Structure formats: C-alpha cells, structure tokens
Amino acid sequence: MAKVFNVRKYSPGDSVLSREEVRKFDEWAIEQIGVPSCVLMENAGRGCAEVILEHLGDVENPKVCIFAGIGNNGGDGFVIARHLADAGCDVKVVTCGDQSKIKGDAKTNLDIVCKMEIGVFQLDMGLYGLDKRVEHFAKDSDIIVDALFGTGLKGALRGNYPELIDDINKLGKSVVAVDIPSGLNCNKGVPTEKQLAIKANFTVTFAAAKRGFTSTASREYTGDVYVAGIGIEPVRM
C-alpha cells in the first residue's frame, strides 16, 4: 500500500484537541468546508491501516483481529479491515454490541466489509464466559485493533464493556488503539472508571493528538502515539 497521508509521531508540544474541539472540528470540516463525513472516516481508517502495516513489518501471513464498537470508532475499524485485507492480511472483525444499531457511515463500511467476505462475527455482550469468547476470536492474531470507543465516550463504561476491555488487556497481544484507547478520558488522559482502559502498544489518533495525551499517566494506555492526517488539518479552522 503506497503512503498517501501525512502520518507523524506525536511529540510533547505538538498541538492537541479536547473532546469539544474534536466535535467542533468535525462539524467545521463537514458543514463549512464540505468534506463528507464518509471521506473523513475513510482517510482516518486508511491512515491507521498504514501504520499497522508498518508495525507488522515482515510478518508472514499476518493475522489481525479488530474489536469494533457500534459507533463511528467501529466504523473506522471497518475501514481499517478493508485496507488490511487488500494488503494481504487475514482479517477478522468482531462487532461488540447490537450490530443492528450500527448506522450511517459505520453501517456503510460494515456492509462493504461483509460484501468483501471478510470474516465478521458478533460478540454477544450479555452471555456468560466473555473472556473465553474474546480469547477464541483473538488467540491466533498478531495484532489486536481496539476500535470500540472514540473521543465521544462520556462517563462510565456500561454493561460488560469494562470486562471486555480487561479481557483484551489480558490477551498479552500487541494492541493498536484507534484514535484513543477505549475507556480513556479524552481530556484528562486517565481511565473513565476503575483504572479500566485499553492498554495499547501504540495509538493512531486522527488530525491531532488529544489533550489527555499530554498527561504522563496516559502513556500507560496509549503507548507510542502517531497522528494520521484525515485530508484536512485543524490549523485551517
């Protein structure tokens, strides 16, 4: 896959966005500049896929397991799945939550993944033995992709999502977080509750690093941070 997007490693002192600024930037890009939201999602997902491929390096027949939520972060995961599959990876997508609630751009990209016959599985969050099912899906993977929750997460994680995050952390696999580790507070850089957030080896965040990444405590969860361009920069606002 040729590199076409600006991807850079985050350094302290680089510009950052708060949760509120991320929302305003998206609104500005879509409503005032006219960049369709599906284009922003496409660019974000492809940039993340490029970084993942670099980290896979010379792994032969790489296997990737993507845990995807039902919102736009999951939509990014579906885009990533497509590009990784096109690059020759063995990709498995695990939707976490009620798949019927996936809407908009995320649904469009899920439909594409399904038509490409990439393996898509639904993880029933209400069933007993969540840890065993997470292990079953991910045990042969070289990299786990966390596409559960993005910057829009507010308040405490609900239902069995804390258990799911804990189970992913216990896999002992290399993990990449999409935009922000699931469960991490975007503005503060600490978990939303009970010290439960994805502990990623690296994070590919979009447009700009998030304010919480300036906290030294966040490094335990983000790992190395890469900033992937999405086709338009916040500095233009």
**Alpha carbons 63 and 80: distance in angstroms, whole number:** 13
| CA-CA-CA-CA torsion sign (148, 150, 153, 156) | positive
User: Residues comprising the binding site for (6S)-NADPHX?
Assistant: 72-76, 150-156, 161, 179
User: Residues comprising the binding site for K(+)?
Assistant: 73, 146, 182
User: Residues comprising the binding site?
Assistant: 72-76, 146, 150-156, 161, 179, 182
Q: Are 65 and 80 in contact (CB under 8 A)?
A: no
